[in-house]
Amino acid sequence: MQTPAGSNTSVQIQGAYQGSVANGTRSPAVFPLSLEDAIKRGLQYNLGAIGAGEAARQARAQRLAMAAQMLPDIFGNVRESVQKINLAAEGFRITVPIPGFQFPTVIGPFNNFDARASVSENLSFTSFRNWQSSRELAHSADLSLQDSRDLVALAVSGSYLQITASAARIQTAKAQLDTAQAVYQQAVDRNKSGLNARIDVNRSLVELQTQQQRLTSLTNDFEKQKLALARLIGLPLAQTFNLTDTVPYRELPPPNVDDLVQRALTSRADVLAAGAQQKAAELSRSAAVAEYLPALELNGDYGVLGVTPTNQAHGTYTAAGGIRIPIFRSGRIRADIEQADAALAQRKAEYEDLKGRAEQDVRVAVLDLTAASQLVKVSESNRALAADTLDQARDRFRSGVADTIEVVQAQESVAAAEQDYISAVFASNLAQVSLARAIGQTEKGITNLLQGK
């Protein structure tokens, strides 16, 4: 199964997790969407979560099928027949040495009534081990379902945070556009007054149009990200919606990586599911080995047999038991054991790989979180310095001691500093969610993020 994976800039999703089952119809009103509501819709309508739920249901059905093999089969049968038999047609030629007597060639018609209940039971260690294996597989499927829910929550929250960051970028771009418009108008006025050259007007106009292009590009990305979120959570694509939650930056204390790794190994659903699959493979191998052992067979029936239900009907029964002992099965048991050994080796390798992946996810998330915190601090300082530089450049331009080159450069520095700050805050919030996912507590981590804990 392909699964979403977090990074420090976005959440990449693949396969079924990209789609959903659209629910509801388009409303003309703008739909308010909180992060909590988006996650709830994703868990309910995302195609990956739906597929995992159906896989878990199939595994539970398989467990019931394995349990049924150890239970007795009971059948009821009611039969009444009327027969007339042609003995000559069956090849009977009977001559009786009695004068005047001839053995009949046709007998009947005669009735027969039989109402009977039958029971059969086969007991073997193989069936018992197969049932235990199916139980572990069902448990693994339930854990995989929980893991899918965590992945959906991670994907939805990552997309939601990305859209909020894009909205912040748009607001910043609008502010920069207003500044560029003011600088351009100031350059035009000063040019008309003969206080600066035409080249200053051209520079300020280029900067104004650059900011317009930037705003257009950011708005386009913002709308496409909203479409992607709608696909994740099953909203009609034509439905307009607004995000109601904003997630500000909050600094966390340095995490203990070793403790987080241990929590991941003991609480992550995908790691636990891999452990359950390994145990199921061990039980399947035990079932294959148990094919060498004898199996118990029990059969019985009880019923009423007679001409009619009320004529010469008597109770009859049969009870039989035996032991089936495998003597020679032409290597089939050995083949089953070899297949079970190969499957067990694969499950063990997958389990070890998942434990390594869980530790890697924790360490990467901690690195991302630490780096994002440092980036936020630096970008906050750069943002303040860039804003102060722009104010000074505009004052110098207004006083006629500088041209628009200095103002344009200061505007670009402010725009870059604002974008860097937004990206750093987004990376920090996403790293917190990714770390919660890495230790198997995605929904709790998102709740803490919204509550500022």
Structure tokens at 68: 């049924």
Structure tokens at 432: 């917190």
Give, for 106, the enclosing helix (H) or strand (E).
strand 106-123
Q: Do strands 106-123 and 295-306 pair parallel, antiparallel, or not at all (unpaired)?
A: antiparallel
Structure tokens at 419: 């974008």
Structure tokens at 356: 């390594």
First CA to last CA distance, the chain: 33
- What tens digit of pLDDT does each residue of 32-74 get? 999 999 999 999 999 999 999 999 999 999 999 999 989 999 9
> Regarding predicted confidence, which is higher, 407 or 332?
332
Using an 8 Å Cβ cutoff, are 394 and 193 in contact? no
Using an 8 Å Cβ cutoff, are 241 and 33 in contact? yes
CATH architecture observed for domain 5-78+125-297+331-451: Up-down Bundle (1.20)
pLDDT at 230: 93
Give, for 46, the enclosing helix (H) or strand (E).
none
Residue 116 has pLDDT above 90, yes or no: yes
pTM, two decimal places: 0.82
Give the pLDDT band of residue 96 (cuts 50, 70, 90).
low
pLDDT at 453: 56
Residue 134 has pLDDT above 90, yes or no: yes
Residue 331 has pLDDT above 80, yes or no: yes
Distance of CA 77 to the CA centre of its chain: 48
* Arithmetic mean of pLDDT over the chain: 88
Residue 1 has pLDDT above 50, yes or no: no
Residues paired with residue 12 on neighbouring β-strands, in sequence order: 5
Structure tokens at 90: 């069956």
Alpha-carbon span 125 to 131, nearest angstrom: 10
> Regarding predicted confidence, which is higher, 120 or 99?
120
Structure tokens at 241: 């919606």
Residue 163 has pLDDT above 90, yes or no: yes
How far is CA 72 from each of CA 42, 77, 120, 130, rounded to the nearest angstrom?
44, 16, 6, 17
